[in-house]
Amino acid sequence: MDRLEMREKLKEKLPAKRFEHSLGVEYTAGTMAFMYGVDYEKALIAGLLHDCAKYVPNDKKISKCEKRGLPISECEYKNPELLHAKLSAVYAKEKYGVTDEDILSAITYHTTGRPAMTTLEKIVYIADYIEPNRTLLPEMDLIRKEAYNDLDQCLLHILHNSVHYLCKKGAAVDPITKETYEYYSHLRRQ
Ligand code: FE
Ligand code: FE
């Protein structure tokens, strides 16, 4: 399936707004790939499909992951919404014919990040946050500039704001997000 066919198919699966968001992440990831010398076709596909399983109902998210033997953490059982990232990677493979592991891991880690991310993973994580259709989050102007100047600084900035936002809201922070935050703040201090 080529990328245009993927788009057609995705359009059927997502509400209009989420589809627009996906196109925004596609293009934003593409521009960042130019900037950082990453394969831009991979960035475009990962950006396009990163949320492709977002609208699978939550109970099905759990059962579909279980059926495929994917590990589900305690935090994910409590917040099945988090599983959309893993499940979108599964769907990208099964329903859109994506076999490239770089693309699939960029989709898998787009919500939580992980320590020692690849450049493509960072790009999709950041593009998801800064794409033009996003409602303006605090410090968005600065974060958008950082995305094109200093990838790790940008990543850390988003992780910092997310962890603090989630804590303030009293929402659970996925342990992997915390680990990722600690990993990159430590790296920065060195
Ligand atoms: Fe997502
Ligand atoms: Fe997204």
* Domain-embedded: residue 17: yes
* Domain-embedded: residue 12: yes
**How far is ligand 1, taken at its centre, from the CA of residue 122, in Å?**
14
**How far is ligand 1, taken at its centre, from the CA of residue 84, in Å?**
7
* Domain-embedded: residue 102: yes
- CA 123 to chain CA centroid, nearest Å: 9
* Domain-embedded: residue 20: yes
Instruction: Give dist(CA 127, CA 20) in Å, integer.
Output: 13
**How far is ligand 1, taken at its centre, from the CA of residue 34, in Å?**
23
The secondary structure element, H or E, covering residue 7 is: helix 3-13
Average confidence score pLDDT of the chain: 95
93-123 tens-digit pLDDT: 999 999 999 999 999 999 999 999 999 999 9
* Domain-embedded: residue 147: no
16-44 tens-digit pLDDT: 999 999 999 999 999 999 999 999 999 99
> How far from each other are the two terminal CA atoms of the chain, in whole angstroms?
44
Q: What is the CATH number of the domain that holds 12?
A: 1.10.3210.10
Q: Say if residue 172's pLDDT is above 80.
A: no
**How far is ligand 1, taken at its centre, from the CA of residue 111, in Å?**
6
* Domain-embedded: residue 180: no
Can you give the residue range of the structural domain that contains 104?
3-137
* Domain-embedded: residue 95: yes
Can you read off the two tokens belonging to residue 163? Answer: 């962890």
Domain count, the chain: 1
- CA 49 to chain CA centroid, nearest Å: 10
